Every structure is written in C-alpha cells, then in structure tokens.
Structure 1
Amino acid sequence: MTLAFPTFTAGMVLSMSLIMAIGPQNAHVLRMGLQRQHLWLTVLTCAFADIVLIGLGVLGLAQLGGLSDKLLGALVGAGMLFLGVYGWQAFQRFLHPRALVLDDNGGVAAEPVSRRQAVLSALAFSFLNPHAWLDTAVLIGTASLAYGQGSTVFGMGAAAGSVVWFLALGAAAFWLGRRLNSLHVWRALDGLVALMMWGTAGWLLTSLF
C-alpha cells in the first residue's frame, strides 16, 4: 500500500510529460474547443484512446518487446499520409485566415460537425499517429516493467494523467476562446500546426531508411 501512491504518481507524471507537447491530438482538441463543437465528446474520445494505448503497452506490448517491424511500418505509412493531409489543410487555413464568428454564448458560426464525425476525427488523431503508439504504448509499457507487480498501478496512473490533461486542455480552450479569437492567433496556430505536421511526417519518412 505504501508503494501504490508513488507508483501511481510516477505513471501520471510520465504520461502527462509525454502528451503535453502540442501534437495532433492536442491541436485537434484545441480547435474543437475554440469552435465549441463537441468539445467534451472529443476530450473523452481522446482520453479513451490513450487509455486503450496505455493498456496495450502495460499489459501487452511491453512483454512482447514492442511493435513488429511490419506493424510499425504500416503505422508509419498511415501516419505520414494522415499528417501530410492535415498539414495541407492547416496550411490552407494559414494562407486564408479568418477569425471565428462568436455568438452571444461564446459559440462559433462554423461548419457544423456531427457527433459521429467528431468521434471518428478524434480516433484518427489518436490511432493514426505513430508517436502515440511509440510514446504512449511502447514507452509507458516499457517503463511499467520497472515496477514489477506494480505495473498495473503504474498504468492506472498513466491513464489518469491522460484524462486530467485532456480535461484541462479542453477547459482552457473553452474559457480562452474569446481571447484567442483573432486572425493573428488563428494564423499563427495554423502555421505552427502545418509545420509541425509536415515536420513530423518528414521525420517519420527518414525513420524508414
């Protein structure tokens, strides 16, 4: 019992440190939050996907020694395509920026997104991102081995860290929506996202050779 809390905390800290960097998941949550479209559904979907990946890492991949070369190659290829397309979309928004039109309640007059589209988009940003598999599943799964029989508690802490992070990110995007709604902010965000996506895709390409 005395070791449970430090082990849980270690898992939480590692998980949050891995996902704090602005990545595809975080950028998507941020945009959905600023648009006030299915924000909490997106947050819960991303958190659920992370929990699944953490579970695979702690309960499976760590013991198997990581991903096979074929599976890793398939994930990298799918991730490059996904990141390239999303980067192009962000670049188009960078070239033609526009602030979102907020209503009296802080919502936005943006193209509506259905619940199904919101869930599928969040799942795509989670499972088609090779970094999510490598960092969340493999790294956390491997780190959990150091805790022996406490690996499950470590994984639970990592899962809790993911939930806490996405809830905090969603809340921040929701409450800061009005302050962040300007052409300069949106253009900077989209430019950063485009560079990040293409840079990640390029890095993945070099990893194949």
Structure 2
Amino acid sequence: MLTPLLAGLGLGFSLIVAIGAQNLFVLRQGIRREHLVAVVAVCALSDAVLIVLGVSGVGIVLQAIPWLIVVVRWAGAAFLIGYGLLAARRAVRPSGATLRVDVDTPASPSSPDAGGTTVQTRPARTSLAATLLTCLALTWLNPHVYLDTVFLLGSIASTHGEGRWAFALGACLASLVWFSALGFGARFLGRWLDTPRAWRVLDALIAVVMFAIALSLVLPH
C-alpha cells in the first residue's frame, strides 16, 4: 500500500501547490496570526471530504448533473469578485481596514528622552465566524476544487484498485502538510511583512488573483 500512498501524496502536492484564492487566504491569515488553526483545519478537512467523495465515485454521479457545476462556477465568480473588491479597497485605502495601536516605548538609561508613544498600524481583526465563512466559501465555491479533487483525484485513484484508499490518504496528507506549512510558515514571515506597505502589496496581489480566477470561471471554456 506504500506505492499508492506515495502516488496520492505526490499528486496531491502537485495540485495544491499553486497560487490560488484559498492559498492566498491561508497566507494572509498566517501573516495576521488570526484564527490560523481553525483556517488550516477547515481547508484540510474540506479537501479530505472532497477527496473521499471523489474516491467513492461521487464524481461519476456529478457528471450526470452538469448544471450543478455551472451554478457553482457563477456563484464562485460572484464571490471572488466581491472578495477581490474588498482586497482592492484595502490596498487603496488601508486606513479603512486597519487598527491603530498605541504602544508605550520606555526610555532607555542611555537615552532618557527617547521614551514615548509609538503608533503601530495593524489590520483590524475579523471575527472567527466571518473568517470561517470566508474560508468555506473560497473552498466550496471554487469549481477548480471539484475538478482537481472529486474528478481528477477520484479518477486516478480508481486505477489503483484496492489501493485507492491509500492513494486518498496520501492526497489528504498532502493537503494537511501544505496548508499547515503555508499558514504557520507565514506566521514567521509576519515579523518582516507586518507593515502597512506590505499589507497593501499583499492585498493588491490578492485582488488581482481573485479577479483573474473569477474571469477564468465565467469565460467560455
């Protein structure tokens, strides 16, 4: 069973390691150090559910109702455009989505007059419920997720016969490892990226990617 497990692990990484709406959201939450464990858990569990559905043969059933993918595609595009507009607004007007924090800086013995108040600008915190709803929407309203996990992974898993569930386990492990590494790795980057300029650049990148993905969903294939 080691061979199908490694095959699922490799294919899972190849599909998930790419710049996308979900990955950028996890990266942003990691830099913010906000509700990160919950976000990683939701992403990994969602992928696991979709992978299990694909391996169990649900993809074959979904092929019989193509209108469902169309509905998801347009709903996903609408959500991504809305999320992209919010990111663009944060990039253009960061003061509208930030929280000013006054930090008392004590005077040092060598510089007794150096003490005072330093104003730091940080992104305003988002509630756990709002964060999880956004995470779920970015995951389940993305048609590419169904194409990659339910259809593609499910089809390839079926070629492994009795080892298909080991293949599925490998793909699930890839998802868990990737989201954990991305999110918690971003926490360490936060010390260098947690600046107003860095947030504006990141939000601008998020807006561009969201608009590009939304456009790819609605254009004729």
The reply to whether TM is greater than 0.5 is yes
Cα 1:148/1:207, change in 2 over 3 Å: farther
Runs (4+) off by over 6 Å? 98-104
TM-score (normalised: structure 2) = 0.83
TM-score (normalised: structure 1) = 0.87
Q: Could you tell me which residue of structure 2 aligns to residue 173 of structure 1? A: 186
Larger radius of gyration: 2
- For residue 13 of structure 2, the aligned residue among 11, 16, 28 is 16
- Bigger strand fraction: 2
Q: 1:17 is matched by which residue type in structure 2?
A: S
Q: Are 2:217 and 1:204 aligned?
A: yes
- Bigger helix fraction: 1
Deviations 1:117-169 (A, max 9, x none): 23222211110111111112211111112212211111111011100101101
Q: Are 2:110 and 1:113 aligned?
A: no
In structure 1, stretches of 5+ residues that fail to align are none
Contact conserved, 1:54 with 1:140, CA < 8 A, in 2? yes
Deviations 1:24-51 (A, max 9, x none): 1111111111111111111111111111
Q: Could you tell me which residue of structure 2 aligns to residue 130 of structure 1? A: 143
In structure 2, stretches of 5+ residues that fail to align are 104-120
Shift of 1:103: 9.3
Q: 1:195 is matched by which residue type in structure 2?
A: V
Q: Secondary structure of the equivalent of 2:19?
A: coil
Cα 1:21/1:67, change in 2 over 3 Å: farther
Q: 1:16 is matched by which residue type in structure 2?
A: F
- For residue 36 of structure 1, the aligned residue among 29, 33, 36 is 33
Q: Could you tell me which residue of structure 2 aligns to residue 52 of structure 1? A: 49
Aligned length: 202
Shift of 1:182: 2.9
Deviates more, 1:187-196 or 1:50-59: 187-196
